[in-house]
């Protein structure tokens, strides 16, 4: 005769079963998505353009076109930091460590809204990885 499990024991059993199922799915689908198995690198930057939207207040946008070194490389993340009149944008890519990939160079595009906290007539520098540009606020 089978014993009836208490509520807590039943919940623990369901959670354990769920973890086992997720682990098996991970094995079947491959472990490429594990964070520790990724190479994170700064992206090569091909183009940076600053656009000022004719709104009130004017909004500053930065268009970034970057490179993907092979078929396994993808956009990872983008961070921004402002120090005085200089805006630093760091763009990173990711790829699985040790992966054998198609040798096809690709591109990604990102648009970043820097907001409206700029002084009219002020000159600002935008540095995206190793590429620098500047603009004068309207």
Each residue's pLDDT tens digit, 94-118: 999 999 999 999 999 999 999 999 9
| Residue in this structure with the two tokens 């890519």, named with its chain if needed | 93
pLDDT tens for 27-80 read 555 544 444 599 999 999 999 999 999 999 999 999 999 999 999 999 999 999
Pairwise CA distance, residues 20 & 28, whole Å: 12
Q: Break the chain into its structural domains and give their ranges.
A: 37-136
Residue 123, pLDDT score:
98
Which of 109, 123, 110, 116 shows the shortest CA–CA distance to 52? 116
Q: Tell whether pTM > 0.75.
A: no
Pairwise CA distance, residues 4 & 63, whole Å: 62
Pairwise CA distance, residues 136 & 138, whole Å: 6
Residue 26, pLDDT score:
54
Pairwise CA distance, residues 108 & 126, whole Å: 19
Per-residue confidence at 9, pLDDT binned at 50, 70, 90?
A: low
For residue 47, list its beta bridge partners: 65
């Amino acid at each position: 005769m089978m014993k009836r499990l208490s509520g807590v024991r039943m919940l623990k059993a369901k959670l354990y079963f769920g973890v086992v199922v997720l682990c098996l799915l991970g094995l079947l689908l491959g472990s490429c998505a594990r964070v520790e198995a990724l190479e994170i690198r700064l992206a090569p930057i091909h183009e940076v353009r600053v656009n000022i939207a004719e709104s009130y207040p004017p909004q500053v946008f930065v268009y970034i076109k970057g490179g993907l070194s092979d078929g396994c490389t993808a956009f990872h993340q983008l961070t921004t930091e402002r120090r005085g009149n200089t805006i630093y944008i760091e763009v990173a890519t990711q790829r699985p460590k040790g992966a054998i990939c198609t040798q096809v160079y690709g591109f990604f595009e990102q648009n970043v809204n820097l907001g409206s906290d700029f002084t009219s007539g002020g000159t600002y520098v935008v540095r995206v990885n190793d590429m620098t540009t500047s603009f004068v606020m309207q």
